[in-house]
């Protein structure tokens, strides 16, 4: 695990974690659509890489109650909040959490599951220095017939330039960098690993979504 990055994330979120979900719901767009479309198979496995406060996993477990859920995050501070939230929601028996580095983690050792029917990364790649490594790691955790779903900030390509400049400057204060090379990277990983890639722009490019699917 990258101890420096873990410490940095803890420093950022040690206080913010208490208001994170309240504030982020207004601009982390596309998360709920991703959750609504997860459709894991009955008894299937779902992992969120970079699960933060656990908000998405709780929503997914409520929407798709027949699956088993797992989450990793590099920030122990965020995981503390996630564990509290999961317990409060009465889902401790359905959602399992562990500290892990998105760029390299042993899911079998952490959870007893090596690959998952659904993997998702929601607004995490823009915060991970080695985001391409995290994307490849996520793709490697997809089981046969499964898929990796991604949503993150786009390049605001059909929005006013002034809005983009303001948003990117504000995001930079939190070490968030929207990844301009997301689409070609997704396509390259698909080509390298035999997965099928798809990509979509949301809300005039405010957010981007992508999917990497593995055949049975």
The residue whose two tokens read 């490849």 is 136
pLDDT digits (tens, 9 = 90+) for 91-148: 999 999 999 999 999 999 999 999 999 999 999 999 999 999 999 999 999 999 999 9
Neighbour count for residue 38 (Cβ, 10 Å): 19
CA distances from 48 to 21, 57, 117, 164 (A): 16, 7, 11, 28
Q: Which CATH number is associated with domain 3-213?
A: 3.40.50.150
Listed residue (109, 136, 112) closest to 49, CA to CA: 136
pLDDT digits (tens, 9 = 90+) for 14-69: 555 444 454 455 468 899 999 999 999 999 999 999 999 999 999 999 999 999 99
Give the start-to-end residue ranges of the domains of the chain. Answer: 3-213
């Amino acid at each position: 695990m990258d101890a420096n990055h873990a410490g940095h994330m803890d420093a950022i979120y040690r206080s913010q974690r208490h208001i994170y979900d309240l504030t982020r719901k207004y601009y982390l767009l596309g998360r709920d659509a991703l959750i609504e479309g997860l459709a894991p198979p009955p008894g299937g496995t779902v992992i969120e890489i970079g699960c933060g406060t656990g908000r998405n996993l709780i929503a997914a477990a409520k929407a798709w109650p027949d699956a088993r859920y797992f989450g990793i995050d590099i920030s122990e501070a965020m995981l503390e909040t996630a564990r509290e939230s999961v317990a409060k929601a009465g889902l401790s028996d359905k959602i399992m959490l562990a500290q892990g580095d998105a760029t390299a983690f042993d899911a079998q050792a952490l959870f007893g599951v090596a690959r998952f029917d659904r993997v998702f990364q929601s607004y995490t790649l823009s915060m991970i220095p080695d985001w391409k490594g995290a994307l490849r790691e996520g793709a490697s955790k997809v089981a046969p017939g499964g898929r990796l779903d991604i949503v993150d900030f786009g390049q605001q390509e059909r929005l006013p330039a002034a809005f983009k400049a303001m948003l990117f400057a504000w995001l930079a204060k939190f070490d968030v960098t929207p990844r301009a090379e997301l689409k070609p990277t997704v396509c390259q990983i698909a080509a390298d690993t035999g997965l099928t890639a798809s990509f979509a722009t949301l809300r005039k490019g405010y957010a981007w979504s992508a999917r990497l699917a593995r055949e049975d």
